[in-house]
Structure 1
Amino acid sequence: MARAFILVLDSFGIGSAPDAGKYGDKGANTLLHIAEFCAAGRADNKRRRGALSVPNLCRLGLNEALAAACGRRLPAAAGEKAQKLIGAYAVGQEISAGKDTPSGHWEMMGLPVPKAWGSFPPPRPGDPAFDKGSYFPRALLEKIYQKGGISGSLGNCAASGTEIIARLGAEHVAGGKPIFYTSGDSVFQVAAHEDIFGLARLYDLCTLIRQEMDFYNVGRVIARPFAGTAEQGFKRTNNRRDWTMPPAEPTLFDYVKKQGGTTIAIGKIADIFAHQAIDKVIKAYGTADLFAATVQQIKAAPDNSLTMTNFVDFDQNFGHRRDIAGYAAELELFDRLLPQIFPLLRPEDLLVITADHGCDPTWSGNDHTREYVPQLFHSAAIAPVNCGKHLGFADMGQTVAAWLGVGPLRHGISYLDIMLGKSPAM
């Protein structure tokens, strides 16, 4: 019986989308720019050196997907060990408004987000609704202080998560006020020392903030616990949690459950979908551990199951931090691990590798970038064909739904017939 495994390389874009100019991202290309920096020797560090090497992803069609997206191919060394293709490939263009993580994930699972979520832009100078320098309305902050039993907050601005705890961590520890911050995404983030402020208290505070976010149509509240001291430095821990607005319509997870199948979420997938229609939640941290958890589910997941893993470190640790060498090293780690999966797949299994948006580490700022994403498919039953360029990530979800026999979804067009040789390749 059929099973499907979707591996999301968070932020792995392959070229600026046609509407990238609206977001200030025209010319962004996460994969190509990383490869070019590596080829020029500008992405060498203790973890890696030389040209980018991702031959296994190239065997699945990554290079072809890149060429279809932007008309460029990777420098030769990236796929030097690649032989014939063993996967079908397509290019996805997001139609959801914005370039946030939930909108990308929801769209690929059959639910585009046509209206942009709310965000917290810089306040207009002199606006009486805001305190000086605050990105959050005074009325919102006062409500949070009252309900949360806190005397105030630090930050209240747009910031990098690592930068703001380095800057305000000591003041937070001394005075007990949590650190509030946002970004270009639809997020309200709360950083607090998990031992001194308390992890349970941080989660409770984020829960009540989530209740206030519906008014502002904000997609996520994120708890960012950290540990350490001012003397030795502060470091974020693995106890991050996201409180996401629930999907307004059914996603592929709902369709699988409705047909009696099993849904498995690894990493932060369950949080992204507000735990809606998820049977089994598996927490893992770091690319190697997330991959190991995925391998375990390929061995153990039952028939009629859908497993989805988010590999967050590409985005969280390297894209947003504009760490080109780190992103390259993580791609090479994932590529080295990938061959573990192939011999474990049953003839009725479908493997999908994709992304939710871009986050070009060579780009200015530290926000996501509006890009095409690769959609790579592998199964013993499908041909290594070009499935084309598609408007909407939901076509991928519709294809997986057809594979599992649980569709059709409300959005998207399946290209399963192309992969099965029943329709001509694109």
Structure 2
Amino acid sequence: MKRAIILVMDSLGIGASEDAHMYGDEAANTLGSIATQCAAGLADNVDRQGPLKIPNLMRLGLGAAQTASSGEALQGVNEPQLIKASYGFAIEQSKDKDTPSGHWEMAGVPVPFKWGTFPKTQPCFPAELIAQFIEQADLPGILGNCHASGTEIIKSLGEEHIKTGKPICYTSADSVFQIAAHERHFGLQRLLEISAIAKELVNELNITRVIARPFVGETATTFQRTSNRKDLTTPPIDTTLLDALKAAGGEVVSVGKIADIFAGRGITQCVKGNDNMALFDAMLDCLKTAEDNTLVFVNFVDFDSHFGHRRDVIGYAKALEAFDARLPELEQMMQGDDVALITADHGCDPTFPGSDHTREHVPVLFFGPSVKAQLVGARQSFADMGQTLASHFGLAALKHGQAIKIN
């Protein structure tokens, strides 16, 4: 029985790419920076202390992949005697360091152009775009209109939003138009409706995503975002692994925001989860009932949204350790021909200036009962991962990528 699981540790880069200077990210190394701070005692608190503790990820080759990628071992983290995976790293060929590009490329579709973005000015959005948005969505106006951290802008403008009914609109270095609004005072359904209007308007600007960011709470100190986030994403520009597997009669189970990232294309079932641990639970539940020719595709978003963007080293370290501790549960459930892949879509170094993604290599860790232990080296595209899984499922070769012989 052929099944596969993709676990995307959203933003877990393992060293700056050769072209990182083009993005201002020359010194970025998400995993390496976290390990260094842990080894130095800078990530200690009441819940965790000392060097980074990720023995299962190390056994699956994450440390060795980090060394191969960056030339530097993880500080304070012991290397295992044996690595039980096909491990290496991948170099992104897509022109941006955003979530859709990274995921599409790992599914076999690199993006050969840059997406549209908004300038780092205030206001940052074109006046005509906002005028059309206000008119078509029947709004009293908007707040924000700038580059911002999502949690910070909600803190600063959330109370005014509740009073005025004006949604909070902001962006980042990515190709994105984000809209934050209160679930109760503004309404979740209303937020989703105006987000759909915004997506239609930004399409001509080649903006990849509109993200609806609902939040709750009554004051700046109590506001917090909810799990009802919705990403409205441009569909993939070509046939992905997901499309090919679905067309061949297989099942593609989206856990978390995967369905949003692929605009629903190639998906046969959607499962949600409130946080990384809930997503891990959902992944295991899906695997229990998964039949032949099923791909379970999971994005663990907390690494990026809660810790990378917020530059929270301690939180990121704790999340890595919690994720690591659960990997044996997955391994125990895997059957003879099952293949799992741990990877990432970009970096988001929590020690780096700003709050944006970082241009980095990503880990490529294939494991399973029949997967051989080997170094697979530097993969020249994330698409090698999709091509490898296409081969695993016996599908026709995708347009991009070189399959890795993992068994």
Same fold? TM cut 0.5: yes
Structure 1 Cα separation of the partners of residues 283 and 349 of structure 2: 26
Secondary structure in 2 aligned to 1:386? strand
8 Å Cα contact 1:96-1:114 kept in structure 2: yes
Answer yes or no: is 1:398 the counterpart of 2:387.
Answer: yes
CA shift, 1:47, in A, is 2.5
CA shift, 1:231, in A, is 6.4
After superposition, the Cα gap between the structure-2 partners of 1:200 and 1:107, relative to the gap in structure 1 and judged at 3 Å, is: same
Answer yes or no: is 1:61 the counterpart of 2:61.
Answer: yes
Structure 2 Cα separation of the partners of residues 231 and 239 of structure 1: 20
Secondary structure in 2 aligned to 1:25? coil
CA shift, 1:232, in A, is 4.7
Structure 1 Cα separation of the partners of residues 374 and 222 of structure 2: 50
8 Å Cα contact 2:154-2:220 kept in structure 1: no
Q: 106-115 or 67-76: which moved more?
A: 67-76
CA shift, 1:406, in A, is 1.1
8 Å Cα contact 1:11-1:358 kept in structure 2: yes
Match for residue 20 of structure 1?
A: 20
Secondary structure in 2 aligned to 1:265? strand
8 Å Cα contact 1:94-1:392 kept in structure 2: yes
Secondary structure in 2 aligned to 1:377? strand
Structure 2 Cα separation of the partners of residues 343 and 228 of structure 1: 41
Structure 2 Cα separation of the partners of residues 107 and 231 of structure 1: 39
8 Å Cα contact 2:155-2:220 kept in structure 1: no
User: One-letter code of the match for 1:119?
Assistant: T
Match for residue 97 of structure 2?
A: 99
Query: % of aligned pairs identical?
Result: 50
User: One-letter code of the match for 1:36?
Assistant: T
Secondary structure in 1 aligned to 2:156? helix
Match for residue 50 of structure 2?
A: 50
Cα deviation digits, residues 29-70 of structure 1 (max 9, x gap): 000110000000001123311110101000001111011101
After superposition, the Cα gap between the structure-2 partners of 1:231 and 1:392, relative to the gap in structure 1 and judged at 3 Å, is: closer
Match for residue 408 of structure 1?
A: 397
Alignment of 1:29-44 (within 5 A): 29-44=29-44
User: One-letter code of the match for 1:395?
Assistant: D
Match for residue 126 of structure 2?
A: 137
CA shift, 1:233, in A, is 2.2
8 Å Cα contact 2:15-2:66 kept in structure 1: yes
Match for residue 72 of structure 2?
A: 72
8 Å Cα contact 1:54-1:79 kept in structure 2: no
User: One-letter code of the match for 1:257?
Assistant: K
8 Å Cα contact 1:398-1:407 kept in structure 2: no
Structure 2 Cα separation of the partners of residues 392 and 245 of structure 1: 21
Gaps of 5+ in 2: none
8 Å Cα contact 1:94-1:104 kept in structure 2: yes
Secondary structure in 2 aligned to 1:233? coil
Which of 175, 179, 187 aligns to 1:186? It is 175
Structure 1 Cα separation of the partners of residues 247 and 372 of structure 2: 30
After superposition, the Cα gap between the structure-2 partners of 1:67 and 1:231, relative to the gap in structure 1 and judged at 3 Å, is: closer
Match for residue 230 of structure 1?
A: 219
Secondary structure in 2 aligned to 1:341? helix
User: One-letter code of the match for 2:374?
Assistant: V
Match for residue 307 of structure 2?
A: 318
Secondary structure in 2 aligned to 1:308? strand
Match for residue 267 of structure 2?
A: 278
User: One-letter code of the match for 1:56?
Assistant: N
Cα deviation digits, residues 253-299 of structure 1 (max 9, x gap): 01101111111000000000000110000011211100011111221
Match for residue 267 of structure 1?
A: 256
Alignment of 1:297-312 (within 5 A): 297-312=286-301
Match for residue 126 of structure 1?
A: none
Cα deviation digits, residues 82-127 of structure 1 (max 9, x gap): 442111102100010110000000000000001011010124xxxx
CA shift, 1:382, in A, is 1.9
Structure 2 Cα separation of the partners of residues 35 and 187 of structure 1: 30
Structure 1 Cα separation of the partners of residues 110 and 78 of structure 2: 33
After superposition, the Cα gap between the structure-2 partners of 1:95 and 1:231, relative to the gap in structure 1 and judged at 3 Å, is: closer
TM-score by length of 1: 0.94
Answer yes or no: is 1:381 the counterpart of 2:379.
Answer: no
For these two proteins, the number of residue pairs brought into alignment is 407
Match for residue 344 of structure 1?
A: 333
8 Å Cα contact 2:156-2:220 kept in structure 1: no
TM-score by length of 2: 0.98
Structure 1 Cα separation of the partners of residues 381 and 47 of structure 2: 36
